[in-house]
Structure 1
Amino acid sequence: MKTNVLGYPRIGAKRELKKAIEKYWKKKITVEELLEVGSQIRRENWNLQKKSGINFIPSNDFSFYDQVLDATMTYGCIPERFREIEKSRSDLDLYFAMARGLQEDGFDITALEMTKWFDTNYHYLVPEFSKGQTFELRSLKAVEEFKEALDQGIATKPVLISPVTYLYLGKEKEEGFQRLDLLETLLPEFYKLLSQLSSAGAEYIQLDEPCLAMDLTHNELMAIKKLYTDIAEKFPKLKIILTNYFD
């Protein structure tokens, strides 16, 4: 029998992450110090699971704020109002500005909308899509954290939100298109990410597809079918753990 963990709590045994983030927001610690807290939590989580005999240990389940926002950063889906921040601040500051808004140094920018993650009390940051939306593989967080675990002697199972669920969770910011139409534009960037994970040595990938618990339209079901058919053809050596954790 194999044991599998879908994702591990990221807050830290003594709420280290929450405390460090709040200190960073108050400018009491540096970005390097915050990143080190995140790295330490990840190492502790991986080692604890390894010592417990878990066969499939997740990576990329850690987040400084929200896993959907992580996906938004990964695919470069940055709303126009954040572009000036992107030019003048660090990626982490851009990330937190998208999560919380920014009202300082002449900026007055509203955050992304928050809404419930399906029927739970967790709230995620809603991706915003526009007509003609483009994507780019902007962040290699998933690859970097896989390699980070590998350096600890732990071969993990990277966890990714499926492109279909990602689009499903978002919202159109203008009329004239449906967000699922963007799948053809998003998939090439997603496949670049899978390719980099495979090249880094990943054997298993967990794809979170919680939208499968919903009453999907014909087009949504066909999009899911196309996604997994394409993955099987393009990445025959990758083992996909399809995860739907509600129904």
Structure 2
Amino acid sequence: MSVSKQWYSTLSSSKFTTFHHLMKSPFSHPSSPQNTLFIQWLNEFYLFYYDDDQNPGNLVDSLVKLHVSFGVNDYPKLIGCCNGLVCLSGPFSDYIILWNLAARKLHKYWSDEYLERIHYVTHGFGYVSSVDDYKYVRILTLGWESGQGSNIAHIFSFRESKWRKIEFDHDVIVRPYGKPVLLDEKLYWASYTQHVVSVIVSFNLGLEKFHIIKLNVAYLAT
């Protein structure tokens, strides 16, 4: 990137970035591992590489510490990983961080709305191929303890660098702090209704629409 303006332009393009994320591991590694695990311990972050041909006695050599600094009392939470990008959220969801592991760069995006501490927050992160955009979804729930929760949902487009409020008028409670599953550019959360019936909340990142999948299994609190 420092050699020529043309190379810099190519390496900075979104097409090259997408291809690089999909085809390459975040860092070069002599064993060319197929599996990479992102690890967070408080304010420390690591990548762990492993493949089937690796000697188990050399596992320590496969742990790479990522050198990044946050505030002393600032412990961002891992939201999700997609195509080599890592999404983190502030302790009270007042900001989000997009971390490009390949370029070793990160950027913080502040929320444009005040979030009360009494909100329970659930997050999601994924990629939309049709518009070449990464999106972060935030669901705020009030009244979870009483089973009478109401939901507010926001979405952030990293391509547009813009927040939007999206409609979520379903009578369900997304389990606080639950981790969604990302599949085919849709997010899925384990949830339940006020009648304690298990459901799955699905969110289409491209259409930006929620959908409820009803299950025939009663929700069991743990």
Superposed pair shares fold, TM > 0.5: no
Higher strand share: 2
Normalising by structure 1, report the TM-score. Answer: 0.26
Higher RCO (CA < 8 A, seq sep 6+): 1
Report the TM-score when normalising by structure 2: 0.28
Radius of gyration: which is bigger?
2
Bigger fraction of residues in helix: 1
